[in-house]
Amino acid sequence: MAEDLSISTPYTNHYFSSLAPAMLQFVPLLHRWQAGPAATRLPTQDRFNYVEFGCGQALSLLIMAAGNPNATFYGIDYSAAHIARARRMADQAGLANVVLMERAFEDMKPEDLPPIDMAVLHGVYSWIPPAARDALVDVIDRHLRPGGIVYVSYNTLTSWTALLPIQKLLTEFAAQASGSPEDRARKALDFLEKLLETNSGHFKDAKALAAWLKHTKGGDIRYVLHEYFVSHWEPTPHSEVAARFGRAKLNYVGTCDVVDTLDRFILQPAASKALSEVPAGPLRETAGDLMRNNGFRRDVYVRGPVATTPSEWRDRVREQRFALIRRRDRCGMSAKFPIGTVELNKEAFDPALDRLADGPATLGDLLPIMGETQDGNALRRLVTMVAAGYAAPCPPVDADPGPSDRLNRVLADEVALGHSHDVLASPVLGAGARVATPRIVALAKDTPPPAPGAPEEPDYLAERRLMDNLRVRLRRG
Ligand SMILES: C[S@@+](CC[C@H](N)C(=O)[O-])C[C@H]1O[C@@H](n2cnc3c(N)ncnc32)[C@H](O)[C@@H]1O
C-alpha cells in the first residue's frame, strides 16, 4: 500500500452547497420520493441529526449548523488538526449544536452517534481504502433512521482512467523522495514533467496529461496532497457505489446535480434517446456518465424511499420554498449547462426571478406569477434556476439568525486577517451564501457604504439587497 502523504498536512477549508439539508431533502422530492426526518416534514420544522464523515476543517458543517440551530451536527475526522481547527471556530461562534469527534471511521463505536437523519461524505469515498469504505457503510447502517438520506460524492472511472498509472507513479516516486510531504509531492510532479518532456511512449503527445500537470502544479499543494498522494485513490463506477451502499438498505434516488433531470441541457437529442433506452438503474447511470464524460458524482441515497402519490407530491412541491442566491442583475439568460451555453426564454424566467429578488417564495406562490398551471413545468423552471446557480431550495421557515450572525462575525474576522472565505451563513437558506471576499472585509471593518452616486454604489446596493433577502449579517460589536 502506498504511503499516505496527506495525513500530516491540513486540507483546504471550502464550503460545499450540495451538503445543505434543504438540498438533500429536495433531491428525493424532485424524484417523487418521501425521505428525510419523519419522511413527511421538511427538516427545519423539527429536530434532526446530521453527520459529516471526513468533515475536514468543517467549514460546511459549521455553516449548516449555524443555519439550522434546532438540529444537531456531528463532524467525524481522524485528523486532530482538522478537528481542533473546527472546534475552535465552533466555540468562538458559540455554536451549541455541533459535536466534533477525532475518530477514524474504522474505530467508531455504537455509542459515538445517536440515530441519524442525514449523513454526508464529500471528497472522501474515492480517497480511502476499501476497509474504510466498508466501515463507513457499517456505521451508516447502524445509525441511519428509516427514511434517512445519505449523500456521497466520488470520482467515477469516466475521466480518471488515464491518470491511474500516473497517480501510482507519483506516489511511488514520493515514497523514496526526501523532505516534507509538500516537498516530496512537488518533486514527484517535477519528475513527471521530465518524463513528459521525453515525448515518448505513454507520454507522446499527451496533451491532456500536460494540461492536468500544469493545472496541478499551479494548484494549492494541500489540495494536491489530499487528492493524489493518499494511500488509496480509486475512481469508482456508480454501480459499485450503489452496490456497497445497498448493503445498508440504501436506494439511489438522484443526484445533487439537479440538471440531470433536464435531459435537453445534458445531451443532444439522439444521445438522450439512446440513453433513455438503457434500462433504468445503475447501468443507465454509468452509461450516462460515460456519454457526458462526467468524472464526479454527487449521489443521494435514501434508506427505504417511499413513493409519493400524485396529490402528496403536488402538496409537497407547492410548499417547497426557493431563494435567489445570486444578484438579480447577474441572473443572465445565457446559462452554462453540461451541453454548453443555453439561451433561456426571458419571458418564462423573468417574472419568477423578479419575484425571488424580493425574497424567498414557495413554488405555490410562484405558479401564478409564472403563468403556469402544471406543477411539473413550474418545477422544471425552478430546477433550471437551481442548476444555473441562480436559486436554491430552502427550508420552509427562517431559522433563528443568532447563530448565523455569530459565525459570520468569526468568518469575517478571519477574512480581515487574510483567510479567503467567500461564504457566510444564511438563516434563510439554512446553508451558506456566497459573498465576495471584499464585501466580507468591508463588513468586518464596518466600512461605511459608498456615497450616493459613487461609481461603486450600484454594486453595493445589488449585493446589499441579496444579503438582506438572505438575512446574511454579522453580529455587531
Ligand atoms: C479530501 S478531505 C475532504 C474534507 C471535506 N469533506 C471537504 O470536502 O473539504 C478527506 C477528509 O477525510 C478524512 N479521512 C480520511 N480517511 C479517514 C478515516 N479513515 N477516518 C476518518 N477520517 C478520514 C481526512 O482527514 C480528510 O479531512
Distance between CA atoms of 142 and 106, rounded to whole angstroms? Answer: 13
Q: Ligand 1 centroid to 121 CA: how many Å?
A: 8
The yes-or-no verdict on residue 317 having pLDDT over 90 is yes
Asked if 97 and 65 count as a contact pair (C-beta separation under 8 A), the reply is yes
Ligand 1 pocket test, pick from 4, 16, 78 with the greatest ligand atom count within 8 Å of Cβ, gives 78
197: Cβ contacts below 8 Å, ≥ 6 apart: none
Residue nearest to atom 3 of ligand 1 (CA): 123
pLDDT of 23 higher than 80: yes
For 360-406, write each residue's pLDDT tens digit. Answer: 999 999 999 999 989 999 999 999 999 999 999 999 999 999 999 99
Instruction: Write the DSSP symbol of residue 434.
Output: E
- Ligand 1 within 6 A of CB of 75: no
Q: How many angstroms is it from 431 CA to the middle of ligand 1?
A: 21
Cβ within 8 Å of residue 267, ≥6 positions away:
275, 291, 292, 338, 339
The region of weakest confidence among 31-40, 83-92, 300-309 is 31-40
Cβ of 54 less than 6 Å from ligand 1: yes
Strand order in the sheet with 321-324: 361-362, 321-324, 391-394
Tell me: pLDDT of 43 over 70: no
- For ligand 1, say whether the CB of 57 is within 6 Å of any of its atoms: no
Q: Is 252 helix (H, G, I), strand (E, B) or coil?
A: strand
Contacts of 60 by beta carbon, 8 Å cutoff, 6+ apart: 14, 15, 16, 19, 52, 122, 432
Instruction: Give dist(CA 470, CA 218) in Å, integer.
Output: 35
Whether 427 contacts 12, CB under 8 Å: no
pLDDT at 334 over 50: yes
Query: Helix, strand, or coil here: 255?
Result: strand
Secondary structure element (H or E) that encloses residue 287, with its range: helix 282-292
pLDDT at 40: 40
Ordered by start, the domain boundaries in the chain are 161-228
What distance in angstroms lies between residue 259's CA and the mean position of ligand 1's atoms?
27
Residue 79 CB–ligand 1 contact under 6 Å = yes
- Position 226 scores a pLDDT of 78
Q: How far is the CA of 14 from the centre of ligand 1 (A)?
A: 13
Each residue of 292-310: pLDDT tens digit?
A: 999 999 999 999 999 999 9
- Residues whose CB falls within 8 Å of the CB of residue 373, separated by 6 or more in sequence, listed in order: 367
**CA 50 to ligand 1 centroid distance, Å:** 17
Whether residue 123 has its Cβ less than 6 Å from ligand 1: yes
Neighbours of 333 (CB within 10 A): 14
CA 101–ligand 1 middle distance (angstroms): 12
Closest to 64 (Cα-Cα) out of 113, 95, 23, 20: 20
How many residues are given for the chain? Answer: 477
Strand-strand pairing, 361-362 and 431-434 = unpaired
360: Cβ below 6 Å to ligand 1? no
Whether pLDDT at 80 is above 90 = yes
Predicted confidence band of residue 39 (pLDDT cuts 50, 70, 90): very low
Report how far ligand 1's centroid is from the alpha carbon of 154 (Å). Answer: 13
Q: Across all residues in the chain, what is the average pLDDT?
A: 92
% of the chain surpassing 90 pLDDT: 77
pLDDT at 37: 64
**Tens digit of each residue's pLDDT (9 = 90 or more) over 256-293:** 999 999 988 999 999 999 999 999 999 999 999 999 99
End-to-end CA distance of the chain: 52
pLDDT of 230 reads 80
What cell numbers appear for 399 in the block?
431559522
Task: Return the residue whose CA atom lies nearest to atom 20 of ligand 1.
Answer: 104
Arithmetic mean of pLDDT, 307-335: 95
State the Cα–Cα distance between residues 53 and 149, nearest whole angstrom.
14
Q: Which atom of ligand 1 is nearest to the CA of 16?
A: 8
Check pLDDT > 60 for residue 352.
yes
- CB atoms near residue 111 (< 10 Å): 6
Instruction: Calculate how far, in angstroms, residue 56's C-alpha sits from the geometric centre of ligand 1.
Output: 5
The pLDDT score that the predictor gives to residue 1 is: 60
Cβ of 298 closer than 6 Å to ligand 1, yes or no, is no
Is pLDDT of 182 > 60?
yes
CA–CA separation, 76 and 94 (whole Å):
19
Alpha-carbon gap, residue 360 to 433, rounded angstroms: 14
Distance in Å, CA 69 to ligand 1 centroid:
24
Overall average pLDDT of the 49-72 stretch: 97
CA nearest to 15, candidates 446, 426, 321, 445: 426
| Whether the CB of 226 sits within 6 Å of ligand 1 | yes
Average pLDDT over residues 317-327: 97
Span 438-459, average pLDDT:
90
Q: DSSP code of 399? A: P
Strand pairing report for 334-337 and 296-303: unpaired
Q: Is 200 helix (H, G, I), strand (E, B) or coil?
A: coil
Spatial contact of 450 and 407, defined as CB atoms under 8 Å apart: no
The pLDDT value recorded for residue 140 is 98
Residue 105 has pLDDT above 90, yes or no: yes
Nearest ligand 1 atom to alpha carbon 56 = 27
* Gap between the Cα atoms of 251 and 219, Å rounded: 36
User: Is the CB of residue 176 less than 8 Å from the CB of residue 317?
Assistant: no
Q: Whose CA is nearest to atom 24 of ligand 1?
A: 54
pLDDT tens by residue, 229-255? 887 888 999 999 999 999 999 999 999
Query: Does 19 contact ligand 1 (Cβ within 6 A)?
Result: no
**What is the CA(454)–ligand 1 centre distance, in A?**
46
Pocket test for ligand 1, best of 77, 225, 228 (most atoms within 8 A of CB): 77
pLDDT exceeds 80 at position 6: no
